[in-house]
Amino acid sequence: MRALLVVNQQATTTSRRSRDVLARALRSAVDLEVAYTRRRDHATTLAREAAAEAGLVVVHGGDGTVNEVVNGLLTVGERATDRPALAVVPGGSTNVFARALGLPGDWAEATGAILEALRDDRTRTIGLGRADDRYFTFCAGLGLDAAVVRRVEQARRRGRTSNPWLYARATARQFVADRRRPAPITVEVPGGGRDPHARLGAVATVIVQNTAPWTYLGPRPIDPNPEASFDLGLDVMALASSGLAGTARTFGQLLAARRAPHGRQVHRWHDLSELVLRSETPQPFQVDGDYLGEREKIQLTAAPEALRVCC
């Protein structure tokens, strides 16, 4: 089987040694070509070009590189079986998608798991989410959480290392900044009928999950929507505009991880096929932990059985 290995050499936990060992290991099982990303969205182009001939695309990088590859693969064919399978060797700082699939966080152990799956010809078909024309593997967000991602990316461009403490500091600073202006996001659930939450305004942040967890703080999963699954539609948590104490309590519940956040300011939906987010003013937007600018409207849809993964 022909395969392409897409490597992001700038990913947090990749190294020359890991790349070389991974390539040698994969060549024992497949006819392998290796390509290195050179700029943002380059992985999308590499995956799209390989999709016509390769049976497998392996990503060695973080969640952002995985997202780019997935969006390249989804330009080909109508069904998951029309596209190459995807395998992920963790190389980022958090690696949410790989961990949600049950892969080890260590690149060497994950490589062993992928080789075993290849020997057994074992794949799994999963659903994805779609935000307008961009697919996502595990999450999308509008508002506070996307603003935090923007702060982290700005810090990384200044040379800071991505780690849980960088995210914690960015969250605290954004939390203070957001107190200066009202949150104008509205959540609309088409076909909501008499559901009182079919339209919900005055929302500070919206977290949309395609699987659980949403992210990790070191080894600890952070999970606003613990029932989210690759096999279902989209799960949503919206945090209504609230006072400092109420919002801090919600984030404390997230960190405690004993149960999903709850309270009057917390609203959630389970297994949605679609929803629309609107704002009178542009709001920060992210998918799979990558900041994509500001949006006034986002239509999100579930894409069931969209991708085969080797894990």
- CATH code where residue 238 lies: 2.60.200.40
Confidence at residue 197, expressed as pLDDT on a 0 to 100 scale: 60
Domain range enclosing 20:
2-122
Q: Say yes or no: 283 and 156 in one domain.
A: yes
Q: How many CA atoms, within 13 angstroms, populate the side-chain half-sphere of residue 87?
A: 28
Residue 128 lies inside a defined structural domain of this protein: no
- Maximum C-alpha span of the chain: 58
Residue 131 lies inside a defined structural domain of this protein: no
Q: Which residue has the higher pLDDT, 173 or 297?
A: 297
Q: Say yes or no: 203 and 101 in one domain.
A: no
Q: Say yes or no: 89 and 42 in one domain.
A: yes
Mean pLDDT calculated for residue range 235-258: 70
Q: Say yes or no: 285 and 151 in one domain.
A: yes
Which single residue is written with the structure tokens 């994805």? 128
Convert the pLDDT of each residue in 96-110 to its tens digit. Answer: 999 999 999 999 999
Q: Say yes or no: 109 and 142 in one domain.
A: no
What is the DSSP track for 114-138? HHHHHHTT--EEEEEEEETTEEESS
Confidence at residue 85, expressed as pLDDT on a 0 to 100 scale: 98
Q: Residues 282, 294: contact at Cβ < 8 Å?
A: yes
User: Which of 122, 150, 177 marks a domain boundary?
Assistant: 122
Convert the pLDDT of each residue in 24-39 to its tens digit. Answer: 999 999 999 999 999 9
Task: Calculate what percentage of the chain has a pLDDT beyond 70.
Answer: 83
Nearest to 137 by CA among 72, 48, 78: 72
pLDDT range class, residue 296, cuts 50, 70, 90:
very high
Q: Say yes or no: 156 and 293 in one domain.
A: yes
Asked whether residue 77 carries a pLDDT value surpassing 70, the answer given is yes
Confidence at residue 168, expressed as pLDDT on a 0 to 100 scale: 63
Q: How many CB atoms lie within 10 A of CB 76?
A: 15
Name the β-bridge partners of 209.
139, 235
pLDDT range class, residue 203, cuts 50, 70, 90:
confident
CATH number of residue 48's parent domain: 3.40.50.10330
Mean pLDDT calculated for residue range 44-54: 94
Number of domains in the chain: 2
Q: Which residue has the higher pLDDT, 277 or 254?
A: 277
Confidence at residue 219, expressed as pLDDT on a 0 to 100 scale: 84
Q: Say yes or no: 51 and 157 in one domain.
A: no
Q: Say yes or no: 156 and 243 in one domain.
A: yes
Q: Residues 204, 144: contact at Cβ < 8 Å?
A: yes
Mean pLDDT in the chain? 88
Residue 222 lies inside a defined structural domain of this protein: yes
pLDDT range class, residue 167, cuts 50, 70, 90:
low
Asked whether residue 269 carries a pLDDT value surpassing 90, the answer given is yes
Q: Say yes or no: 76 and 145 in one domain.
A: no
Nearest to 87 by CA among 106, 76, 75, 103: 103
Q: Say yes or no: 164 and 37 in one domain.
A: no
Q: Say yes or no: 113 and 242 in one domain.
A: no
User: Which of 74, 95, 122 marks a domain boundary?
Assistant: 122
pLDDT range class, residue 264, cuts 50, 70, 90:
confident
Residue 33 lies inside a defined structural domain of this protein: yes
Residue 311 lies inside a defined structural domain of this protein: no
Q: Say yes or no: 41 and 157 in one domain.
A: no
User: Which of 122, 155, 185 marks a domain boundary?
Assistant: 122
Residue 127 lies inside a defined structural domain of this protein: no
